[in-house]
């Protein structure tokens, strides 16, 4: 990061200085320009025709689920395809009833089903039930191990079964050493055979090794799975057509949504007012789509993306521009939460502070209309706490202080922003986001701490080098290295272990019985998945390269060919 001299004219209360040294980060500009501002509405007749086709195809799929009720393996395969193609949200009740029936008959009553001695079928059964939060035991895989506890040699050639078992292992919880062994066993074997496989199995294995299904974004995984599913001669044509039609309808819906938000964002002119900050509206909207893509959450998306853009700018004010004195003023203004505080701020901070108040006032009107005004208390408090965390880190950076790892994490979990984003994600979700749900969230349950940990550890692992080069606050990697006297690679190994633990915590907390309604837990899981996708190899939010561009294009630019 360069320390650049900036004119004092933009700063108040510091008139004794002519120039101020600022730690400017030189973030890359937005690559999208005004691309998403204009949206051409689809012809109403075409739209109506597609919607009619969707309803007809939905009825066909419902019938198939009904007629396979006594054929668990067939039903599991239909459910799996439905979920992987991104249309499970259209059949939530039917899928729930089917899996409940399968769970009762094959697990509670221990009734054998076709394929119950086949690795692929058992792993599919286990994964789908775990994926849908049923507490089924991994002991079902004992039959595939020898007397010494090793997986049998005859499984080595069952690539399809190994792949399904590999996917299932990512749903493990603490104490399931068998699944830990299975992950190592399947990963090693799949890596050794992938170059010798034919399409589409080779592509499935390659993709799974890069992006396990459980940690991927459902809509993004659907884009990948379309071509895999279509390559199988036995694919369900009605299901595939339904998935493609629905994908395109939803894509149009999302593009219209983004167009509206893009016009609002441009009217604020933040790119010009805060040239030092990341201009990442489109990337932020992609992030939000990962949290919920379903049409019923349109209001929730509109709320969170506006707040998301605000907090991204605030993060950069603290992280890449503001002086300590200015940041103290901003922190105090946020605690007061009063338009009168504008007069106490430097000129350049005023548009951001006012926009935050405006956005929150807009949300407050919506909450009042819904009779949910109580939610605003939580939304404001979580913002205040986040800004306090940013201030703590700014002080550390100014003092060149390297805290202990424990002290660092006590602040860094907050500044990961994941309790903040989860809270904001609940605002537009309707009646299920009750006061009890917000109180539960503010009690900092294990699933939230685990989600924060994934966010912080992956961010620090991927952005450590760039941030240290620009004079950023000490990262978790740096703190851990100093405290324990280890190398960077040893610190990274420890972070990987902690990530495994955090995912197990999340998996455990998502199992039945639920402490809060499942849709609320899904926001936490999906927020964690977003981090896994965007930060898999680098900080894809800050440095928008090919992987991020392709992901955005696949969801917001390229339609499916039906």
Q: What DSSP line would sit under 353-389, residue for residue?
A: HHHHHHHHHHHHHHHHHTT-TTHHHHHHHHHHHHHHH
pTM over 0.85: yes
Annotated binding site: 315, 319, 467
- Please give the pLDDT value at position 57: 98
- Please give the pLDDT value at position 552: 99
Question: Count of CB atoms within 10 A of residue 560's CB?
Answer: 18
CA 148 – CA 226 distance, rounded (Å): 41
- Residue 19's nearest CA partner among 34, 6, 35 is 6
| Structure tokens, 181 | 């062994």
Annotated binding site for Mg(2+): 315, 319, 467
Each residue's pLDDT expressed in tens, for the chain with a length of 562 residues: 444 444 333 344 433 333 577 867 889 999 999 999 999 888 889 999 999 999 999 999 999 999 999 999 999 999 999 999 999 999 999 999 999 999 999 999 988 888 889 999 999 999 999 999 999 999 999 999 999 999 999 999 999 999 999 999 999 999 999 999 999 999 999 999 999 999 999 999 999 999 999 999 999 999 999 999 999 999 999 999 999 999 999 999 999 999 999 999 999 999 999 999 999 999 999 999 999 999 999 999 999 999 999 999 999 999 999 999 999 999 999 999 999 999 999 999 999 999 999 999 999 999 999 999 999 999 999 999 999 999 999 999 999 999 999 999 999 999 999 999 999 999 999 999 999 999 999 999 999 999 999 999 999 999 867 666 666 789 999 999 999 999 999 999 999 999 999 999 999 999 999 999 999 999 999 999 999 999 999 999 999 999 999 999 999 999 999 9
- Please give the pLDDT value at position 466: 63
- Please give the pLDDT value at position 8: 33
- Please give the pLDDT value at position 9: 34
User: Does residue 378 have a cis peptide bond before it, meaning omega lies within 30 degrees of 0?
Assistant: no
- Please give the pLDDT value at position 113: 86
- Please give the pLDDT value at position 273: 98
Contact 409, 460 (CB under 8 A): no
**Burial (CB count within 10 angstroms: exposed 0-12, middle 13-18, buried 19+), residue 445:** middle
CA 215 – CA 265 distance, rounded (Å): 31
| Structure tokens, 173 | 């919880």
Contact 491, 255 (CB under 8 A): no
Domains and CATH numbers, the chain: 70-243 (1.50.10.130), 269-546 (1.10.600.10)
User: Long-range contacts: 537-540, Cβ < 8 Å, 24+?
Assistant: 537/462, 538/462, 538/463, 539/459, 539/462, 539/463, 539/466, 540/283
Contact 522, 294 (CB under 8 A): no
| Residues, the chain | 562
Looking up tokens 């907050």 gives: 414
Contact 317, 274 (CB under 8 A): yes
CA 447 – CA 495 distance, rounded (Å): 18
**Burial (CB count within 10 angstroms: exposed 0-12, middle 13-18, buried 19+), residue 110:** exposed
- Please give the pLDDT value at position 71: 94
DSSP β-bridge partners for residue 20: 6
CA 307 – CA 363 distance, rounded (Å): 10
DSSP β-bridge partners for residue 360: none
- Residue 164's nearest CA partner among 143, 150, 142, 183 is 183
- Residue 55's nearest CA partner among 87, 97, 96 is 87
């Amino acid at each position: 990061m360069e320390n650049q001299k900036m004119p004092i004219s933009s700063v108040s209360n510091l008139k004794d200085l002519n120039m101020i040294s600022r730690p400017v980060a030189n973030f890359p500009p937005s690559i999208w320009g005004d691309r998403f501002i204009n949206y051409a509405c689809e012809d109403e007749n075409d739209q109506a025709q597609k919607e009619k086709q969707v309803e007809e195809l939905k009825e066909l799929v419902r019938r198939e689920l009904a007629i396979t009720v006594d054929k668990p393996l067939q039903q599991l395969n239909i459910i799996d395809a439905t979920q992987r193609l991104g249309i499970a949200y259209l059949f939530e009740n039917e899928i729930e009833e089917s899996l409940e029936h399968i769970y009762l008959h094959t697990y509670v009553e221990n009734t054998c089903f076709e394929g119950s001695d086949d690795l692929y079928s058992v792993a599919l059964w286990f994964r789908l039930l775990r994926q849908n939060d049923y507490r089924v035991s991994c002991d079902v895989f004992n039959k595939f191990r020898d007397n010494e506890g090793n997986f049998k040699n005859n499984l080595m050639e069952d690539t399809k079964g190994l792949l399904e078992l590999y996917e299932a292992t990512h749903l493990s919880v603490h104490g399931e050493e068998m699944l830990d062994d299975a992950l190592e066993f399947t990963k090693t074997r799949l890596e050794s055979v992938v170059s010798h496989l034919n399409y589409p199995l080779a592509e499935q294995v390659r993709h799974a090794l890069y992006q396990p299904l459980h940690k991927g974004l459902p809509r993004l995984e659907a884009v990948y799975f379309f071509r895999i599913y279509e390559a199988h001669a036995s694919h369900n044509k009605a299901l595939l057509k339904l998935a493609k039609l629905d994908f395109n309808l939803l894509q149009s819906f999302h593009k219209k949504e983004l167009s509206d938000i893009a016009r609002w964002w441009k009217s604020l002119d933040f790119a010009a007012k805060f040239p030092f900050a990341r201009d990442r509206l489109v990337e932020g909207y992609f992030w939000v789509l990962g949290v919920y893509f379903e049409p019923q959450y349109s209001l929730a998306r509109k709320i969170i993306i506006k707040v998301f853009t605000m907090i991204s700018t605030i993060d950069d004010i603290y992280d890449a521009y503001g002086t300590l004195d200015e940041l103290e003023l901003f922190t105090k203004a946020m605690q007061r939460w009063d338009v009168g505080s504008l007069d106490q701020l430097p000129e350049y901070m005023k548009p951001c502070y006012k926009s935050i108040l405006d956005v929150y006032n807009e949300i407050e009107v919506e909450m009042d209309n819904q009779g949910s005004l109580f939610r605003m208390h939580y939304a404001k408090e979580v913002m205040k706490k986040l800004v306090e965390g940013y201030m703590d880190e700014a002080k550390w950076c100014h003092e060149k202080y390297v805290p202990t790892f424990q002290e660092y994490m006590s602040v860094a979990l907050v500044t990961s922003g994941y309790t903040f984003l989860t809270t904001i994600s609940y605002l537009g979700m309707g009646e299920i986001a009750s006061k009890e749900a917000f109180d539960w969230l503010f009690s900092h349950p294990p699933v939230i701490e685990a989600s924060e940990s994934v966010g912080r550890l992956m961010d620090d692992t991927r952005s450590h080098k760039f941030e240290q080069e620009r004079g950023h606050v000490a990262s978790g990697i740096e703190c851990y290295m100093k405290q324990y006297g280890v190398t960077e690679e040893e610190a990274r190994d420890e972070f990987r272990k902690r990530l495994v633990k955090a995912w197990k915590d999340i998996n455990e907390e998502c199992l039945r019985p639920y402490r809060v309604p499942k849709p609320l837990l899904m926001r936490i899981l999906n927020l964690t998945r977003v981090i896994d996708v965007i930060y898999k190899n680098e900080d894809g939010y800050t440095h928008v390269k090919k992987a991020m561009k392709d992901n955005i294009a696949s969801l917001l630019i390229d339609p499916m060919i039906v």
